Amino acid sequence: MRTANPALNSSTFDTFDSYAIERSNTMTLQGTANKTAMLLILLAASAGFSWVQLRQAGVQAVTPYLIGGFAGSLIAGIALWFKREWAAVLAPVYAVGEGLVLGVISAMFETRFQGIVFQAVCLTFGTLFSLLTAYRTGLIKATENFKLGVFAATGAIAILYLVNMIMHLCGVGGFTFLHGSSPMAIGINAFIVVIAALNLVLDFDFIEQGVAHGAPKYMEWYAGYGLLVTLVWLYVEILRLLSKINSRD
C-alpha cells in the first residue's frame, strides 16, 4: 500500500492483520465516512466563526485565532503520528484548529474576489464525490504505477513548496511562478490541483485496505483525519487557482 498523504503512510495498518479475526469492533467504511463528516462539520463551524470575526472586527481581532488554530492543528497533527489511538480526541482538535485558519484565509480571498469561496467549496466537494464515484465503480483504479506516480508528484510539490518557503525566510524571494497570475503560474497551479485531487483516490484505497486489515475502531477517526488533510490541501489550491484566474480579468 502506498499513499502520498503523509497522514496515511504505508505502515499504518501493518500490525492489525493478526488481530482482525479476534475483534468484532473494527474499522468500517460507513464508520469512516461518519467520522469524516463529523470532522468536516467541526472544520466548517470553526471556519465560519473566524470568518465572521474577521468581517466584523478586522484582522487584528482574529490574529489570536489564526495563531492558535495553526498551533493547535500542528500540534494535533504531530501527536497523531505517534498516538493514533488518541485520534478520537486529536482529530477533532485538528479540524477545529484548521477551520480557524481556513476561515481567516477564505475571508481574505472573499474580500478581494466576491463569490470565490463558494466556487472553491463547490469544486472541492464536486471533485471529492466525482472521484469517489469513479473509484467505487472501478473507473479509476489505484494500481501500483498509479500510486507511484502520484506519490512522486506529491513529493516533488512538497519539496518545491519547502524550498520556496526557505527562500522567503532567507529574504531572497520565492519562485514567482508559484504566486503570480501568468499563464505558467496558472498552469502549474492547475497541475497541483490535479495531483491533490488524485491523492483522494489513494486515500480511498488506503481506507479500504484498512478495513480489509481489520483495523481497530479508532482508526476511523485517524483515516477521517488523513482524508481531511487532503481535502484542505485541495481546497486551498483551488482557491489559489481561482484567485489567479480572476486577477487576470
Residue range 2-11: mean pLDDT, rounded? 54
The pLDDT value recorded for residue 213 is 84
The pLDDT value recorded for residue 59 is 81
The pLDDT value recorded for residue 2 is 46
The greatest distance separating any two alpha carbons of the chain, rounded to the nearest whole angstrom, comes to 61
CB 9 within 8 A of CB 62: no
Report residue 167 as a C-alpha cell. 527562500
> Is this prediction's pTM over 0.85?
yes
Residues 6+ apart with CB under 8 A from 86: 79, 80
Residues 6+ apart with CB under 8 A from 220: 27, 28, 31, 32, 34, 35
**Tell me: the pLDDT tens digits for 212-249?**
888 899 999 999 999 999 999 999 999 999 999 988 65
CA distance 199 to 231: 9
**Tell me: the pLDDT tens digits for 143-172?**
899 999 999 999 999 998 898 888 877 877
Identify which has the larger pLDDT, 86 or 8: 86
**Tell me: the pLDDT tens digits for 107-135?**
999 999 999 999 999 999 999 999 999 99
CB 34 within 8 A of CB 40: no
Report residue 119 as a C-alpha cell. 466556487
Closest CA to 135 of 224, 191, 192, 206: 206
CA distance 224 to 207: 9
Q: Where are the domains of the chain?
A: 26-247
Counting residues of the chain whose pLDDT is more than 90, the rounded percentage is: 63
**Tell me: the pLDDT tens digits for 16-63?**
554 454 556 889 999 999 999 999 999 999 999 999 999 888 888 888
The pLDDT value recorded for residue 206 is 85
The alpha helices in 58-143, defined as continuous H runs, are 59-82, 87-112, 116-136
**Tell me: the pLDDT tens digits for 193-207?**
999 999 999 999 989
CA distance 104 to 109: 9
CA distance 176 to 45: 34
